[in-house]
Structure 1
């Protein structure tokens, strides 16, 4: 009787996995998240960071980085089994504004980011934080 329950649970799990809205290979896709500092240069001193970016997930703190104009903050992630992967960042524009934003949300970003080599492209600018799925067309998703 116990073995029959095990077989039934195995069949139930297999049926569940086969009907998930994604392929098994989706679990192995590595997403590349890029956040670029496209803010205007500081007037003085010119080579000092004008953006501080701190990114993390529930389980992984990537740390804060000071960034000069044109610098890129990059990391990789995979979508977890429950499809709840989330990375969020706090951007602090020195002497101006601070804004938090979601840099990777599975439901929102998985498909758009696949269009450009599995990359999610973000650009921090003087009027907000922009997203692009192709590194050519940008939209202001998080205004300051």
Structure 2
């Protein structure tokens, strides 16, 4: 009987720990030196506001995702036309990240970090 109680407690703690994992989305300015990037990211329930990032700087935020969690960002630098992109989509990103959903904005594309393979993947082309 005591062994069953210990096993039940261990299972409850494991489930609680799995639910406690938070996803971190990080978006970095990987543009050329002295290029200022303006990001405005939001979900259907949360607006993170506009952020100005100098070369090498990043913004990151944490949340408990569900299967419907999605964040969009408007991206603008120099006089390049503003682009609106899905920066995080729980349904699609589960295959490449759970807690480290990092993104790098470069002059011609956006890279998404695959934490399971420890590689950067080309996900968006600007053209």
Superposition TM-score tier, normalisation by shorter sequence: 0.7 to 0.9
Aligned to 2:41: 55
Q: Is the 8 A contact 1:52 1:94 kept in 2?
A: no
**Aligned pairs, how many?**
111
What's 2:30 paired with?
Answer: 38
Match of 1:139 in 2: 121
Secondary structure class of the residue paired with 1:112: coil
Q: SS of 2:110's equivalent?
A: strand
The gaps in structure 1 that reach 5 residues or longer are 1-22, 43-48
- Judging changes above 3 Å, is the alpha-carbon distance between structure 1 residues 78 and 111 closer, same or farther for their aligned structure 2 residues? farther
Secondary structure of 1:108's counterpart equals: helix
Aligned partners of 1:84 and 1:95: how far apart in 2? 33
Whose radius of gyration is greater, 1 or 2?
A: 1
Q: CA RMSD in A?
A: 2.1
Change (3 A) 1:25 1:106: farther
Distance in 2 of aligned mates of 1:40 and 1:93? 11
Residue 74 (str. 1) matches residue 60 (str. 2): yes
Q: Per the alignment, do residues 28 and 140 of structure 1 end up closer, same or farther by CA in structure 2, a change over 3 Å counting?
A: same
Relative to the length of structure 1, the TM-score reads 0.68
Q: Relative to 1, partners in 2 of residues 1:100 and 1:60: Cα closer, same or farther, differing over 3 Å?
A: same
1:41 deviation in Å? 2.0
In the alignment, structure 2 segments of 5+ residues that lack a partner are 1-14
Instruction: State whether structure 2 residue 117 is matched by structure 1 residue 119.
Output: no
Which structure shows the higher strand fraction?
2
After TM superposition, list the pairs within 5 Å mapping 1:80-99 onto structure 2: 80=66, 83-99=67-83
TM-score where L is the length of structure 2: 0.77
